[in-house]
A and B are shown apart, each in its own frame.
Chain A
Amino acid sequence: MPVAASAIYFLNLRGDVLINRLYRDDVGGNMVDAFRMHIMQTKELGTCPVRQIGGCSFFYMRISNVYIVIVVSSNANVACAFKFVVEAVALFKSYFGGAFDEDAIRNNFVLIYELLDEIMDFGYPQNLSPEILKLYITQEGVRSPFSSKPTDKPVPNATLQVTGAVGWRREGLVYKKNEVFLDIVESVNLLMSSKGSVLRCDVTGKILMKCFLSGMPDLKLGLNDKIGLEKESQLKSRPTKSGKTIELDDVTFHQCVNLTRFNSEKTVSFVPPDGEFELMKYRITEGVNLPFRVLPTIKELGRTRIEVNVKVKSVFGAKMFALGVVIKIPVPKQTAKTNFQVTSGRAKYNAAIDCLVWKIRKFPGQTEPTLSAEVELISTMTEKKSWTRPPIQMEFQVPMFTASGLRVRFLKVWEKSGYNTVEWVRYITKAGSYEIRC
């Protein structure tokens, strides 16, 4: 049964109900007490997001300082339930202007009730697209840039759009200047052994799009991925210009992309929603260009001293640079004193997370700054187990660089009025979970 929820609760960290909605009669109104007693107030909290208590099952997620709990008593579709929560939070955020926390819920409870009534009926998720909902669910004080347009009265054909085949775009949009912004955002996930061999490495990328286009445009996106290019040259029966091509392990698309067409022709064609949305996500495991290599040597000298040497090498083009580089080097809990030298940036010891935190604001390509530190430890009386050495973690952003090598080859826009569009493309690579064991 694709039912996703019998009831949904929003709780604060103390377990007070901020707002709730019962969709079905098969769970009692006080089920949340069971959740509070058996999960929130026990060690169970955070050990498993799907739990059975009595005849009911609870799925919960924490988002900022709010627990969102779904209760069911049937064999519900859990995947659907969690996805619903994720999307609902995104929807609320778009209504509240970004924040989703206890205060935002209290300040907008009327609106949330209204939305909860609209986005789920009898436990079945309905249309959650912010773009469409904003057409007819509006609240004073929470007007988004879209509803400030001349739609103060409920749009007469709103209902048609909610249920329409293009349920994510409304008709009759007009822009003076037709623009499309494409952001290719990649996160590199890396797990490297202390000896420098790559244990696991992949890139998850997403293409974010911001559209300000009039009418009902048809868009087609071309990337330098291997399958797409091969198919294209097959169709045109002539080889396309070869450059670097990459192999995408997997792609997933926004609702608006015609999947059947992608499957047969390997082209990404779609009618975009208005405003900002995530067009596609992809994953790559082969041929990843790692922007940084980290070479750590950590020596334990006796029981009270540790010598740390970390060299970080940027392996992207010399003309590029990375921003906001943070390297967290773990040290034992009983650290007493630290001494360090860095050739670039700043470092300090953060006792709260037991790490040496080394920050470099601007990190040019083809350089290799180092950090060398001496750590003194409090000698402990009890012979405790040896230090477990968590991995070194790294954060960074490298603009105009893609770890996958993905490039946008073209973005074509067709609209019956035949206007011209301006397209802007940006690339950025960030650290996902970038871990180096030491």
Chain B
Amino acid sequence: MSGHDSKYFSTTKKGEIPELKEELNSQYKDKRKDAVKKVIAAMTVGKDVSSLFTDVVNCMQTENLELKKLVYLYLINYAKSQPDLAILAVNTFVKDSQDPNPLIRALAVRTMGCIRVDKITEYLCDPLQRCLKDDDPYVRKTAAICVAKLYDINAELVEDRGFLESLKDLISDNNPMVVANAVAALAEIQENSNRPIFEITSHTLSKLLTALNECTEWGQVFILDALSKYKAADAREAENIVERVTPRLQHANCAVVLSAVKMILQQMELITSTDVVRNLCKKMAPPLVTLLSAEPEIQYVALRNINLIVQRRPTILAHEIKVFFCKYNDPIYVKMEKLEIMIKLASDRNIDQVLLEFKEYATEVDVDFVRKAVRAIGRCAIKLERAAERCITVLLELIKIKVNYVVQEAIIVIKDIFRRYPNTYESIIATLCESLDTLDEPEAKASMIWIIGEYAERIDNADELLESFLESFPEEPAHVQLQLLTATVKLFLKKPTEGPQQMIQVVLNNATVETDNPDLRDRAYIYWRLLSTDPEAAKDVVLAEKPVISDDSNLLDPSLLDELLANIATLSSVYHKPPEAFVTRVKTTTQKTEDEDYGSETGNSESPAHIADSAASPPTSSGAPYAAARQAAPAPASPAHAAAAPVPDLLGDLIGMENSAIVPVDQPASPAGPPLPVVLPASTGQGLQISAQLTRREGQIFYSLLFENNTQSPLDGFMIQFNKNTFGLAAAGPLQVPQVQPGTSAGTLLPMVTFQNMSQGPPSSLLQVAVKNNQQPVWYFNDKISLHVFFTEDGRMERANFLETWRSLPDSNEITRDFPGIVVSNVEATLDRLAASNMFFIAKRKHANQDVFYFSVKIPRGIPFLIELTTVVNNPGVKIAIKTPSPETAPLFFEAMETLLKD
């Protein structure tokens, strides 16, 4: 059976609106109801029926629940455009909120919360207060969500009227659905507030875990998501929590399962017993696999999350690779994700099976999928040394099929394989050269040209092959031109005969005189000068040994991975970006700017941006590296080569780039000061733990570092590099760390300079650091720049000067922030401490029971901050107002203030 509402969509002959108006005012109930339905139908198809507002609202006073709901729906849609008329509805709302029927009471409160008109909001408070204490759980659960709605409209009102307290009371409600909604509302309010509103204690945690059992599936999701932020005190508590959450893995609702997985993974970080961890991994595998039998869209979400999970805990699904084999009819987005996970799970044990699959996929219809499959074979070759040969065999078989895009893709990955295993597989070059004519994609061409140049001495007719490309030099895309240039130079250096000599003339001419591309021109000039001054030096540079590349398929930045794992099941975990990178509405500005930077640097999982790269090359160079040694790898788009470690910039000295920030280690260390915050935990650094903090001593900024070696072997050759940052912080001298023996640690104070390599964009406290040593891969970590290290010693201001400056700055430069959690108990000590950080006390006055203090601060480049600090001594709550010519740094300043006052 089915309804017949479609009749309401049919239009009438007469003018529609007048007719509806007439019907809405009809004396017959049924006619009125039909008319409202027609209005709603018109609204649905996008017609503007707001002119009927009064007439529709007149139908609101009705006993008929269905009609009432329709009128309410109309109100939600149009109240905003008719705020003055909306007030007409208030009376009915208030009356309905006291109706004996709980459905109507709830409906009234629910609808009022959806109408974002100030006048209505004012009247919402009293009904809401009543409904939060209603006898009926249905009304209470609706009221709980309504508090979150009101908070979104007017946060102050919620706090003033004490709704937060009522909401907290509902957590102890005897009805599970009320509890779940209250938790959801509180969690949301907390997310949008800077104050601690909903802090989960071990007591609430335990209470909520008990409630889990009786909740609806959605309620379980609300609760699990809220609890996943809870940090257990120790391993025992963590085990306890996990034990109570594990049964949720058996739930039929995928959202419950993923939220449970999120919570378990969080707590697992604390669990030390390997048995327990192994057992948990075993328990999580089947439910994760089961998610793959859900709807394809849900599979997609699950796969994106599994991608993250296997990066942190590869053992969970190590034996389940078969379930990720693609079905012929899987949607393309599912196939692509499965492929990605297959690469991650590929191991020496299963590689044969995996290769058979990839080979099968490489013959399918969808071109993008085929390409990805071919690329996957290459990535496996780079990842698994022992399987490399088998991978190459498969690639050669695929090349033989002679499908154009397969061949091109195969050549691109083979180039990466050559770089990974130099001098091992060059015997196949002949086979590759056969396909030369079919190449029409830039990336494939560039790869092939690189291969020819790199192995010119082994290819008899290398000069002919290159020459065939040279004809079209002016028409080629930039990165093919760059490769041609380098390859020709290599050829010339290896075979300095007449043919190549002519070729190099042509190329250099083309690349210097006839091009507009500065990258190409610069590179050509460098070669030219090198070749004409000292060909031997040119050989050392151009034919220098290249660093070995590694597989990048596991390369999400560990701290980003942590953040993403804490966001399992949410959009963040699907995009593989931190929430701040795509959510525009966040609570504080500091966080926003900081993480936008962060997101753009590391958010792209395909080709992780490299700190070393971006620090050494100006932002305008379109990804083309400067140094010949590094440019030897073709085109930046290949994921495999992106993993190249930062190499000393060989040409750096030649072109006068003295600020290459890599600093070799050659001197013993000086001891470090107080305990430093850990920036790279040993678990992430394969046993190397780094603690670091910026400090200021005697007018100089230092980066205080402590290296702890928990590995089995000594570590030496430490180097450090800083990415561009707001204050242009960079190392002023070499990093001085001696060889660190296993089980010992070494500290150092690295002097820093400012305004060396500044980043663009809004001020951010983010400091991205790369550290390398001779034994391990490069480690990247993020640190925070606290503004107070920049407070200069000459920041003291005279009273008169202070007043004058305060007055001279426009009011728009005044920014205020509250720090509700901070207590000033000992004024003297606080002032001393602030003075020690170069924050200078100027004056103090009393205002009612409050003390008001005035300070001045100066940061480099002579930017002053004038500070007014208001507080009641010994009572929590500090209010700080600042005035500065540089208001955009205010968020950073407040952050620093918080640190200073909390100490």
Answer yes or no: B525 CB below 8 A from chain A CBs.
no
B72-131 with Cβ < 8 A to chain A: 72-73, 76, 101-103, 106, 110, 113-114, 116
Q: Please determine whether A1 and B333 come into contact, CB atoms closer than 8 angstroms.
A: no
Residues from chain A with Cβ under 8 Å of B403 in the complex:
385
Answer yes or no: B595 CB below 8 A from chain A CBs.
no
Selected from B8, B70, B226, B325, the residue in CB contact (under 8 A) with A200 is B325
B 573-602 to A, binary, CB cutoff 8 A, 1 in contact else 0: 111000100111100000000000000000
A88-111 with Cβ < 8 A to chain B: 96-97, 99, 103-104, 106-111
Answer yes or no: A163 CB below 8 A from chain B CBs.
yes
Selected from A57, A136, A141, A251, the residue in CB contact (under 8 A) with B4 is A141
Q: Please determine whether B574 and A50 come into contact, CB atoms closer than 8 angstroms.
A: yes
Residues from chain A with Cβ under 8 Å of B191 in the complex:
1
Binds A, one of B139-147, B270-278, B754-762: B139-147
Residues from chain A with Cβ under 8 Å of B226 in the complex:
2
Question: Complex Cα distance A253/B217, Å?
Answer: 11
User: Could you say which of A16, A78, A167 has the most chain B C-beta atoms within 10 Å of its C-beta?
Assistant: A78
Question: Complex Cα distance A122/B300, Å?
Answer: 26
Number of residues of chain B lying within 8 A (CB) of chain A: 114
Selected from B41, B101, B116, B287, the residue in CB contact (under 8 A) with A25 is B116
Answer yes or no: B290 CB below 8 A from chain A CBs.
yes
Question: Complex Cα distance A55/B255, Å?
Answer: 24
Answer yes or no: B567 CB below 8 A from chain A CBs.
yes
Answer yes or no: B671 CB below 8 A from chain A CBs.
no
Residues from chain A with Cβ under 8 Å of B259 in the complex:
2, 77, 79
B 311-341 to A, binary, CB cutoff 8 A, 1 in contact else 0: 0000000000011010111011100000000
Q: Please determine whether B9 and A117 come into contact, CB atoms closer than 8 angstroms.
A: no
Answer yes or no: B225 CB below 8 A from chain A CBs.
yes
Selected from A61, A160, A258, A437, the residue in CB contact (under 8 A) with B136 is A160
Residues from chain A with Cβ under 8 Å of B138 in the complex:
159-160, 162-163
Residues from chain A with Cβ under 8 Å of B45 in the complex:
16-17
Q: Please determine whether B3 and A141 come into contact, CB atoms closer than 8 angstroms.
A: yes
Tell me the smallest distance from the CB of A135 to a CB of chain B, in Å. Answer: 10
Q: Please determine whether B181 and A124 come into contact, CB atoms closer than 8 angstroms.
A: yes
Selected from B1, B139, B250, B300, the residue in CB contact (under 8 A) with A253 is B250
Residues from chain B with Cβ under 8 Å of A255 in the complex:
216-217, 251-253
Closest to B181 in A: A124
Answer yes or no: B214 CB below 8 A from chain A CBs.
yes
Answer yes or no: A240 CB below 8 A from chain B CBs.
no
Q: Please determine whether B216 and A191 come into contact, CB atoms closer than 8 angstroms.
A: no
Answer yes or no: A113 CB below 8 A from chain B CBs.
yes
Closest to B288 in A: A250
Q: Contacts A106-B5, A141-B3, A435-B328 known; A77 to B570 CB distance under 8 Å?
A: yes
Question: Complex Cα distance A143/B2, Å?
Answer: 9
Selected from B2, B8, B213, the residue in CB contact (under 8 A) with A142 is B2
Question: Complex Cα distance A250/B181, Å?
Answer: 30
Q: Please determine whether A143 and B1 come into contact, CB atoms closer than 8 angstroms.
A: yes
Q: Please determine whether B255 and A109 come into contact, CB atoms closer than 8 angstroms.
A: no
Closest to A391 in B: B328
Q: Please determine whether B137 and A77 come into contact, CB atoms closer than 8 angstroms.
A: no
Question: Complex Cα distance A199/B359, Å?
Answer: 14
Q: Contacts A1-B187, A50-B301, A111-B3 known; A159 to B103 CB distance under 8 Å?
A: yes
Q: Please determine whether A107 and B585 come into contact, CB atoms closer than 8 angstroms.
A: no
Q: Contacts A49-B297, A250-B290 known; A1 to B570 CB distance under 8 Å?
A: yes
Tell me the smallest distance from the CB of B135 to a CB of chain A, in Å. Answer: 10
Question: Complex Cα distance A67/B714, Å?
Answer: 60
Q: Contacts A50-B301, A124-B181 known; A79 to B255 CB distance under 8 Å?
A: yes
Q: Please determine whether A163 and B141 come into contact, CB atoms closer than 8 angstroms.
A: yes
Closest to A50 in B: B574
Selected from B146, B222, B328, the residue in CB contact (under 8 A) with A390 is B328
A 263-283 to B, binary, CB cutoff 8 A, 1 in contact else 0: 100000000000000101101
Q: Please determine whether B571 and A57 come into contact, CB atoms closer than 8 angstroms.
A: yes
Answer yes or no: A252 CB below 8 A from chain B CBs.
yes
Q: Please determine whether A78 and B574 come into contact, CB atoms closer than 8 angstroms.
A: yes
Interface of A is mostly: mixed
Q: Contacts A97-B1, A250-B289 known; A106 to B6 CB distance under 8 Å?
A: yes
B 31-46 to A, binary, CB cutoff 8 A, 1 in contact else 0: 0000001001100111
Answer yes or no: B363 CB below 8 A from chain A CBs.
yes
Question: Complex Cα distance A281/B291, Å?
Answer: 11
Tell me the smallest distance from the CB of A132 to a CB of chain B, in Å. Answer: 10
Tell me the smallest distance from the CB of B750 to a CB of chain A, in Å. Answer: 37
User: Could you say which of B44, B106, B148, B402 has the most chain A C-beta atoms within 10 Å of its C-beta?
Assistant: B44
A 158-172 to B, binary, CB cutoff 8 A, 1 in contact else 0: 111011110100000
Answer yes or no: A404 CB below 8 A from chain B CBs.
no
Answer yes or no: B257 CB below 8 A from chain A CBs.
yes
Q: Please determine whether B247 and A262 come into contact, CB atoms closer than 8 angstroms.
A: yes
Question: Complex Cα distance A386/B402, Å?
Answer: 9
Answer yes or no: B379 CB below 8 A from chain A CBs.
no
Residues from chain A with Cβ under 8 Å of B296 in the complex:
49
Q: Please determine whether A437 and B360 come into contact, CB atoms closer than 8 angstroms.
A: yes
Answer yes or no: B160 CB below 8 A from chain A CBs.
no
Answer yes or no: A260 CB below 8 A from chain B CBs.
yes
Residues from chain B with Cβ under 8 Å of A76 in the complex:
570-571
Answer yes or no: A339 CB below 8 A from chain B CBs.
no
Q: Contacts A104-B2, A114-B69, A283-B290 known; A124 to B145 CB distance under 8 Å?
A: yes
Residues from chain B with Cβ under 8 Å of A249 in the complex:
286, 289
Selected from B66, B137, B289, B569, the residue in CB contact (under 8 A) with A163 is B137
Q: Please determine whether B287 and A252 come into contact, CB atoms closer than 8 angstroms.
A: yes
Q: Contacts A78-B574, A111-B3, A437-B360 known; A2 to B184 CB distance under 8 Å?
A: yes
Tell me the smallest distance from the CB of A120 to a CB of chain B, in Å. Answer: 9
Answer yes or no: A26 CB below 8 A from chain B CBs.
yes
Binds A, one of B172-180, B496-504, B540-548: B172-180
Residues from chain A with Cβ under 8 Å of B517 in the complex:
none
Q: Please determine whether A75 and B571 come into contact, CB atoms closer than 8 angstroms.
A: yes
Tell me the smallest distance from the CB of B404 to a CB of chain A, in Å. Answer: 8
Answer yes or no: A47 CB below 8 A from chain B CBs.
yes
Answer yes or no: B868 CB below 8 A from chain A CBs.
no
Residues from chain A with Cβ under 8 Å of B248 in the complex:
259
B 340-371 to A, binary, CB cutoff 8 A, 1 in contact else 0: 00000000000001001100100111000000
B 137-172 to A, binary, CB cutoff 8 A, 1 in contact else 0: 111011001101100100000000000000000000
Q: Please determine whether B579 and A75 come into contact, CB atoms closer than 8 angstroms.
A: yes
Question: Complex Cα distance A122/B45, Å?
Answer: 23
A127-169 with Cβ < 8 A to chain B: 127-128, 136, 139-143, 154, 158-160, 162-165, 167
Answer yes or no: A314 CB below 8 A from chain B CBs.
no
Q: Please determine whether A163 and B152 come into contact, CB atoms closer than 8 angstroms.
A: no
Residues from chain B with Cβ under 8 Å of A1 in the complex:
187-188, 191, 225, 570
Q: Contacts A49-B300, A110-B3 known; A159 to B583 CB distance under 8 Å?
A: no
Answer yes or no: B295 CB below 8 A from chain A CBs.
yes
Residues from chain A with Cβ under 8 Å of B575 in the complex:
50, 52
Answer yes or no: A388 CB below 8 A from chain B CBs.
yes
B 192-229 to A, binary, CB cutoff 8 A, 1 in contact else 0: 00000000000000000000011011100110011000
> Could you jot down 23 A-B contacts, CB within 8 Å?
A20-B44, A49-B297, A50-B300, A61-B295, A74-B583, A75-B582, A79-B259, A82-B298, A104-B2, A128-B218, A139-B3, A139-B66, A159-B137, A163-B176, A167-B177, A250-B286, A252-B287, A254-B252, A255-B216, A255-B252, A263-B250, A435-B327, A435-B328
Measuring CB to CB, which residues of chain B are less than 8 angstroms from any residue of chain A?
Answer: 1-6, 8-9, 37, 40-41, 44-46, 65-66, 69-70, 72-73, 76, 101-103, 106, 110, 113-114, 116, 136-139, 141-142, 145-146, 148-149, 152, 175-178, 181, 184, 187-188, 191, 213-214, 216-218, 221-222, 225-226, 246-248, 250-255, 257-259, 286-287, 289-290, 293, 295-298, 300-302, 322-323, 325, 327-329, 331-333, 353, 356-357, 360, 363-365, 401-403, 567, 569-575, 579, 582-585
10 closest A-B pairs by beta carbon, nearest first, are: A250-B286, A159-B138, A75-B579, A259-B247, A80-B255, A263-B247, A125-B218, A163-B137, A163-B177, A108-B3
